[in-house]
Chain A
C-alpha cells in the first residue's frame, strides 16, 4: 500500500501483541499526507486500529547492533564511552567490538556520533516500536522514566 500510493516510510517493525489474533506494525513516516496514510491503512480489511503517535505522545524504542573499529590501544576508551550509553558489548573480536544499544532514536544517534571517529564497520537497526503513553502516566507527558 505504501509503495502503491507513493508514501515514504522510514522504518517498519512487526511483531505479535497480547492478542494472538493480531499483530502490531509500527511505521515511521512523516509528511503532509499523514491523514491519507491513516485513511488508506484503515481501508485495508485486515487493519483493525491505526494510532498516530506524534513526537512525544508515545514511548519509542529502537534497538541497534553496531560494530566499531577497536584496536587494543583504544579498546578501554571505547568501552568507557559505551558505558555512559548503557551500550552492551555483545561480541568482541580482534579489532572490533559489537555493541547492543537500545533506546529512543535520539539516544541511538548520539551513540553513533560518539563512535563515528573510531570507525563504524557495520550497523543494523530493528526499526522503531512505540506504545502510547498511559494518559495518567506519572512521569509527565513528554519524558520517559528512563530517558537515557
Chain B
C-alpha cells in the first residue's frame, strides 16, 4: 500500500528505521517542518542550549554506546554552531549524523534569511555531506548517511535539507540497496601481510603494541587483549585508545606521548617493532617525527589506507578493520606458535618493569596543602572502584584524568583528543548518559572549559540526565599557563582567572543542579560520597585545586621523545 508522506515525515520515519532513540537538537525556521512529526515520534528529543552542545552530545552518545549519535540544527547560525562539534568528531572518528535545515531551494544563493552555505562549510569537517535537492532522495540519503558514519573509518556525516523539500510530499518507499561505488572500506587484511606481521613479531626482541582509538571504534578490545597475551606484547594505549586493554593488565604500559608516562614513551622509543593498530602516529604521540622510535620497524593496521605511510613508513602495511585483522592475527599466531609458546622476551619485560619502578606517575598530596587534581581523580576511582564512565574537557585536568584513572573497559573514557575542544566535557557527558542511563557518568572539567558549555547543565537538569561534573578548579587556564611558565618566561598573558571565576556552586544551583564545593583534601572523599548519593539531578562539584600544579611527564612540542621531563627538577 502506498503511503504519502511529507519530506519531514519521511525524514523522521527514516531516522526511526535507523533505530535512532535520541536526537540532540534545537529547532528553528528552516528545520521547523521536521519538528512537527518529531513531536509524535517515539524518538526522544533533547533540547540543547547551543547547537555545539548538540554535536558534542551526539559524539558522547556515540562514544559511550558505539551507535551513531544524531544532532539536528536549523539553517544558518544553527548549522554554523555545529561546525566545531563536527570537526571534533571528524578528528576522533566518531560516528555522528547531523541533520540541518536549509532555506527553500528557490532561495538558495539569494542571501535569504538564515542562509549559510552549509554544504560547503561542512565539507572539510565531515566524512561526507549531502544537500538534498530532490525529495525522493530522503530515504536513501539517510540510509547512506548512517552507513557512512558507522562503517569503515567512522566519522560525522551531514545532511542538509531545504525547507521546501521537507514540506513537499512523496510516496514513501523503503531505502534501496546502498549504492556507493566510491566507498568500499576494506574489512579483512591481506593474508600475506598478516603472515609477514606474525613473522616479524616472532622475530622481534623489543616489540610494543601501539593501540589507538581504532580499537575502541572497532569494538576490538577483547581481541586486542587476546592478541597481546598470545604474542606477549607490552601494550601502550593512546589518549584515544585508553581502555583498549585494562590498565591493570600485566602487559599494559599506559599512555605514551607528550604527557604519557616514562615507560610507555621510552618503550616505544627503544622498541625494535611497533605493532600499530588503529593509531595514526599523531604528533602528540611521536614528538619530533625524525627522532621517533628510530630502531623500530612498523606494522601498521588501519582501516583508512591514507593513514598508512602518512607520517611514518610501514614495513608491513595492513589495511582492514581492527577487529577483523586482529582475528586474523590471532588465528595466524595460534597456528604459528601453538598455545602458550609466545617468546618470553625476559630482558625486555625486565627493562620495562625497571622503568615502571623507577619512573612511576606520582604526586604528593599534602594533607594541609591545596587539593591536588590527581588526588580527586584517584579518590573517585577508589570510591567507585573504577565503575564509571569518565569524560574530560581539554587541559591539564584532561591529561591527569587520562594518566591517573585506571581504565578497565573500552568506551569508559570519552574525551576530545584530535581537536582538543575546550567545553567538550559537559555536553559529551550528557550524550553518554543519555545513551547509557544506568551508568555513572562523571566529567572532570576545567574551570575554563566549564564556562564554555555550562549552559548545557540546564539541558541536563530539565531532561533529568543526571551527570556529575567535577570541576578541577585551579582558577587558571592551566595548560596554557604551564606552557607560559615553561616556554614564555612565566609571562602569564591572559591565563589568570584568579578572582575572576564565577561561583560554580551558585551557577549549578541556578541551573537546577546540586552544587558542592571542596576546599581541603580531607573534604574530597566525603563530598564525592555526597555527589554520588544524589541521583535526581545533575551534580556539580567545585574542587578548589592547586593553581601551581603542572602535568608531568612532559615532552615539549616538537621535542624528541628521548628527553622526557619528569618534573620541575628536570627543568633547570
Contacts and interface: CB of A to CB of B under 8 A. Distances in A.
Nearest to A38: B306
A42 B306 contact: yes
Nearest to A35: B309
A4 B183 CA distance: 21
A43 B306 contact: yes
Contact of A45 (B148, B305, B309): B148
Interface in A26-78: 35-36, 39-40, 42-48
B533 interface: no
Interface in A1-42: 1, 4, 35-36, 39-40, 42
A36 B305 CA distance: 9
B148 A36 contact: no
Contacts of B310: 36, 39
Contact of B128 (A4, A36, A40, A45): A45
B181 A48 contact: yes
A121 B377 CA distance: 72
B411 interface: no
B229 to A, nearest CB: 33
Contacts of B309: 35-36
A40 to B, nearest CB: 5
A48 B306 contact: no
A42 B181 CA distance: 11
Contacts of A4: 124
B124 A42 contact: no
A39 B124 contact: no
Contacts of B183: 45
Contacts of B127: 45
A45 B147 CA distance: 12
Given A4-B124, A45-B127, A45-B148, A36 B306 contact: yes
B308 to A, nearest CB: 8
A43 B155 CA distance: 12
Contacts of B124: 1, 4
B306 A40 contact: yes
Contact of A43 (B180, B181, B304): B304
A35 B311 CA distance: 12
Interface in B144-160: 148
B305 A48 contact: no
Interface string B304-319: 1110011000000000
Contact of B182 (A1, A35, A36, A45): A45
Contacts of A43: 304-306
Interface in B276-304: 304
Nearest to B181: A48
Specify which of B148, B304, B306 lies most central, judged by the most chain A CB atoms within 10 Å of its CB. Answer: B306
A45 B306 contact: no
Nearest to A4: B124
A47 B306 contact: no
B381 to A, nearest CB: 39
A44 B306 contact: no
Interface in A57-115: none
A20 to B, nearest CB: 14
Contacts of B306: 36, 39-40, 42-43
A48 B180 CA distance: 9
Contacts of B182: 42, 44-48
A21 to B, nearest CB: 9
A58 B253 CA distance: 52
Contacts of B128: 44-46
Interface string B362-401: 0000000000000000000000000000000000000000
A139 B179 CA distance: 39
Nearest to B306: A39
A39 B310 CA distance: 10
A111 B173 CA distance: 59
Contacts of B305: 39, 42-43
Given A39-B306, A42-B305, 11 more contacts: A4-B124, A36-B306, A36-B309, A39-B310, A42-B182, A43-B304, A44-B182, A45-B128, A45-B180, A45-B182, A47-B182
16 contacts: A1-B124, A35-B309, A36-B309, A39-B305, A39-B306, A39-B310, A42-B305, A42-B306, A44-B128, A44-B182, A45-B128, A45-B182, A46-B182, A47-B182, A48-B181, A48-B182
By Cβ-Cβ distance, the 7 closest A-B pairs, closest first, are A39-B306, A45-B128, A48-B182, A47-B182, A45-B183, A4-B124, A48-B181
